């Protein structure tokens, strides 16, 4: 949605400038800025989701390693070592 707003805002701004409509030009600028903000938020959220997924994967990997270590320790204890 952000990129679309940026493009439509730019078109409206250009149309307002060509037609001499200050109100249309300003509205286009505002829409373009709003789209840029939404796009930055989308990128930030996407990056945060990716970082969380990586952290979750590392957590699960460490959890599996700890479980393997616990099972190995139990086997050693049962075998008398």
60-79 tens-digit pLDDT: 999 999 999 999 999 999 98
Show me where the domains of the chain are located. 2-79
Burial of 35 (0-12, 13-18, 19+ CB in 10 A): buried
CB-based contacts of 21, cutoff 8 Å, min separation 6: 15
In three-state secondary structure terms, 1 is coil
The C-alpha atoms of residue 27 and residue 34 are separated, in whole angstroms, by: 10
User: Could you read off the pLDDT of 3-26 as tens digits, one per residue?
Assistant: 888 888 888 888 888 889 899 989
Rg of the chain over Cα atoms, rounded to whole angstroms, equals: 27
More confident site: 13 or 51: 51
Q: pTM for the whole thing? A: 0.64
The C-alpha atoms of residue 65 and residue 59 are separated, in whole angstroms, by: 10
């Amino acid at each position: 949605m952000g990129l679309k707003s940026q493009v439509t805002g730019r078109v409206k701004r250009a149309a307002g400038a060509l037609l001499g409509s200050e109100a249309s030009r300003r509205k286009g600028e505002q829409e373009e800025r709003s789209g840029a903000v939404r796009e930055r938020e989308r990128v930030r959220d996407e990056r945060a989701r990716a970082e969380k997924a990586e952290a979750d994967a590392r957590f699960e990997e460490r959890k599996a390693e700890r479980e393997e270590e616990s099972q190995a320790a139990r086997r050693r204890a049962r075998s008398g070592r």
